[in-house]
């Protein structure tokens, strides 16, 4: 569902609605000069098979001009299972890299100096464990935790809404999130402690306005939980980041990013009393829309990705991932990943769009769409408030039903040829051009299983047992979990063992039928 065009609100209050880039309400961007001073971070999302395989891909991308890392983890790692667990069989290294112990994390970042590279990790249920491993690797490199920079997604609420890689029930999961906020505010001050994700909400089929509304409603829930835990809003809110989808409707997408910034600025100032401008300014990473990629005429995905990337840039993204053309077929090949990176580089260095802080401000179309998306998103946020907040809205299935309805409406439009998808329901070909597909060797899973079992055999078992006991105690006593998890990680406790210690206290979440 696209936002309707109309002339009714074409008049713009430049002082109140726009201001200048870097000024409240940040409609035109969080920084005064935007890309005129520094281009967005080109952060290609990558990870597959083992830590050694992924490390080679990271070093290749960095050698090709990538300016930040973005780590994809496999499903067992996301769900808190070691690679030799029965639930992990057949999934090790398939949709991301397998990380079982600190040894894997050391291999993943071998020859990559963590004081010089910013790293984003797309991880939620096990975010505290992976962050602890990252900190431990930095310490082994003699890099102070105070000097490392990056982001963990740590956005558990959207897992209950749209993605499903949850472990614990919502309330203890929120507790882990706020523990990370509190720990990093003191120990890892340059780290973005959460990247609140609209990306997966949009991939599940939401509209642009729903993506903004449900993402910001999640954010409200996190901020309120942190405030209720005794944290000062301006102590943690400057390190909150967001993660949005950049979809096909070019003008609507540009407006979506602007509307999200303006709405968040007002929420933080008026609802939470944030005084620090950094708490009010929404900063976001964008990724082009995986759900728009097609297996049919897959080379057309380069064009789709370029348009979506340009929308993210003109919408003011702080970092960007561009999808590879072959991702509807399998994991990206090195060739396809390089083209995806080059797409960003051409936009940044050849197109001229980075020469002005906000090229589209004042366009009647853009301003109308910005206003309309803000209005629709605010209506959803009010409905969620009326339901008792985002946790209650999720538990009642409201958010899930709204996304399902939007997704169904879109699919009907595609099937009726009302929504054109080039190469799928129009301009099709009888014979497709064959494209190389990256295939993983099955022996890599066996090697990863042997690796985690070898670590268990040679580590100090008593130290691990003591560390896991301390985690369980902290979980029961409501003490901050992060220092205990870091101790366990440094003793080479596995990700699955640490997750099980918390499972035994918190239980597991089972979605309602």
Which pLDDT value is given to residue 7? 46
Asked whether the beta carbons of 24 and 344 are under 8 A apart, the reply is no
Q: Which burial class, exposed, middle or buried, applies to 399 when counting CB atoms under 10 A from its CB (0-12, 13-18, 19+)?
A: buried
- Identify the CA nearest to 192 among candidates 239, 244, 124, 131: 239
pLDDT one digit per residue (tens) for the chain, 513 residues? 566 555 444 455 655 678 899 999 999 999 999 999 999 999 988 899 899 999 999 999 999 999 899 999 999 999 999 999 999 999 999 999 999 999 999 999 999 999 999 999 999 999 999 999 999 999 999 999 999 999 999 999 999 999 999 999 999 999 999 999 999 999 999 999 999 999 999 999 999 999 999 999 999 999 999 999 999 999 999 999 999 999 999 999 999 999 999 999 999 999 999 999 999 999 999 999 999 999 999 999 999 999 999 999 999 999 999 999 999 999 899 999 999 999 999 999 999 999 999 999 999 999 999 999 999 999 999 999 999 999 999 999 999 999 999 999 999 999 999 999 999 999 999 887 788 888 888 899 999 999 999 999 999 999 999 999 999 999 999 899 999 999 999 999 999 999 999 999 999 999 876
C-alpha span between 357 and 346 (Å, rounded): 18
Residue 257 phi/psi, 5-degree rounding, is: -65, -40
Strand partners, 120: 70, 151
Which pLDDT value is given to residue 134? 98
C-alpha span between 134 and 127 (Å, rounded): 10
Which pLDDT value is given to residue 314? 98
> Residue 459 carries which DSSP code?
S
Coil, helix or strand for 418?
Answer: coil
CA distances from 488 to 351, 460, 462 (A): 49, 11, 11
Which pLDDT value is given to residue 118? 94
CA distances from 210 to 3, 141, 188 (A): 11, 43, 33
Neighbours of 86 (CB within 10 A): 6
What domains are there in the chain, each with its CATH number?
40-352+363-415 (3.20.20.240)
- Identify the CA nearest to 194 among candidates 153, 243, 244, 149: 153
String of DSSP letters for 364-395: HHHHHHHHHHHHHHHHHHHHHHHTTSHHHHHH
C-alpha span between 52 and 103 (Å, rounded): 11
Which pLDDT value is given to residue 457? 97
Asked whether the beta carbons of 201 and 403 are under 8 A apart, the reply is yes
Question: Between helices 170-187 and 482-490, what is the axis angle to 10°?
Answer: 80
Chain centroid, CA 286 distance in Å: 8
Neighbours of 225 (CB within 10 A): 18
Which pLDDT value is given to residue 438? 85
């Amino acid at each position: 569902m696209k936002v309707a065009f109309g002339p009714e609100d074409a008049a713009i209050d430049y002082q109140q609605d726009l201001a200048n880039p870097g000024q409240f309400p940040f409609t035109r961007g969080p920084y005064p000069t935007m890309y005129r001073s520094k281009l967005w971070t080109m952060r290609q999302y990558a990870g597959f098979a083992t830590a050694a395989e992924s490390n080679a891909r990271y070093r290749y991308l960095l050698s090709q001009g990538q300016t930040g890392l973005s780590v994809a983890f496999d499903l067992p790692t996301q769900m808190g299972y070691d690679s030799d667990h029965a639930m992990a069989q057949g999934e090790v290294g398939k949709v991301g890299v397998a990380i079982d112990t600190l040894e894997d994390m050391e291999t993943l970042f071998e020859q990559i100096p963590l004081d010089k590279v910013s790293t984003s990790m797309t991880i939620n249920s096990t975010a505290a464990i992976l962050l602890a491993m990252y900190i431990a690797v930095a310490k082994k490199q003699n890099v102070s935790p105070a000097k490392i920079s990056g982001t963990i997604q740590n956005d558990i609420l959207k897992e209950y809404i749209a993605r499903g890689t949850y472990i614990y029930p919502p309330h203890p999961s929120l507790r882990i999130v706020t523990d990370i906020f509190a720990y990093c505010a003191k120990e890892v001050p340059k780290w973005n402690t959460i990247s609140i994700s609209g990306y997966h909400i949009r991939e599940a089929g939401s509209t642009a306005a729903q993506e903004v509304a449900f993402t910001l409603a999640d954010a409200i829930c996190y901020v309120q939980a942190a405030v209720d835990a005794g944290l000062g809003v301006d102590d943690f809110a400057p390190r909150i980041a967001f993660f949005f989808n950049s979809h096909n409707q070019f003008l609507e997408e540009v407006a979506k990013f602007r509307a999200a910034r303006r709405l968040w600025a007002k929420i933080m100032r008026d609802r939470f009393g944030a005084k620090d401008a950094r708490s009010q300014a929404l900063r976001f990473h964008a990724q082009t829309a995986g759900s728009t990629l097609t297996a049919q005429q897959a080379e057309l995905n380069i064009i789709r990705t370029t348009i979506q990337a340009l929308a993210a840039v003109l919408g003011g993204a702080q970092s960007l991932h561009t999808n590879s053309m072959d991702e509807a077929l399998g994991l990206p090949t090195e060739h396809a990943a390089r083209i995806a990176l080059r797409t960003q580089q051409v936009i940044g260095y050849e197109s001229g769009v980075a020469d002005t802080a906000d090229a589209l401000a004042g366009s009647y179309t853009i301003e109308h769409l910005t206003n309309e998306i803000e209005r629709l998103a605010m209506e959803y946020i009010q409905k969620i408030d009326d339901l008792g907040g985002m946790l209650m809205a999720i538990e009642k299935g409201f958010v899930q039903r709204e996304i399902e309805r939007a997704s169904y409406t879109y699919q009907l439009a595609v099937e009726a040829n009302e929504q054109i998808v080039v190469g799928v329901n129009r301009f099709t070909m009888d014979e497709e051009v064959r494209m190389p597909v990256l295939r993983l060797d099955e022996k890599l899973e066996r090697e990863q299983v042997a690796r985690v079992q070898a670590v268990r055999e040679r580590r100090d078992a008593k130290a691990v047992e003591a560390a896991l006991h301390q985690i369980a105690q902290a979980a029961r006593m409501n003490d901050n979990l992060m220092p205990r998890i870091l101790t366990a990680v440094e003793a080479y406790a596995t990700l699955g063992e640490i997750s099980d210690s918390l499972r035994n206290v918190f239980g597991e979440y089972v979605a309602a039928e």
